[in-house]
């Protein structure tokens, strides 16, 4: 399915945000939770924002399966972060 000009612009912005902001920050958070650290309030806010963006992007992703592999990999990264963070919280209690 071809992208409209509006959709193409949206994809470009989302990919740029992923590359420059979301993935680097997520990888930093993952390193910290892998070391046993807990999530900060800022980390939690960031993850909530990403979750909301993912929910809002779902209709687009449903129409463009070519982007589903990337979104699945990003979601898996966030799942790894939250699972490890939960284990860290439980270990610290």
Instruction: Encode 41-54: b = buried (16+ Cβ within 10 Å), e = exposed.
Output: eebeebbeebeeee
Q: What is the pLDDT of residue 40?
A: 96
pTM over 0.85: no
pLDDT, averaged across the chain: 88
The answer on pLDDT for 2 being more than 70 is no
DSSP symbol at 4: P
DSSP symbol at 93: -
Smallest CA-to-CA distance from 28 within 16, 12, 17, 40 is with 40
pLDDT, greater one: 13 or 91? 91
Q: What is the pLDDT of residues 29-68, one digit of tens each?
A: 999 999 999 999 999 999 999 888 888 887 887 888 888 8
């Amino acid at each position: 399915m071809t992208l409209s000009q509006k959709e193409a612009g949206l994809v470009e912005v989302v990919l740029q945000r992923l590359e420059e902001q979301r993935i680097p920050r997520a990888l930093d958070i993952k390193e910290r939770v892998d070391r046993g650290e807990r999530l900060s309030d800022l980390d939690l806010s960031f993850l909530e924002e990403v979750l909301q963006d993912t929910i809002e992007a779902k209709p687009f992703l449903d129409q463009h399966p070519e982007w589903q592999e990337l979104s699945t990999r990003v979601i898996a990264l966030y799942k790894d972060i939250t699972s490890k963070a939960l284990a860290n919280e439980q270990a610290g209690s």
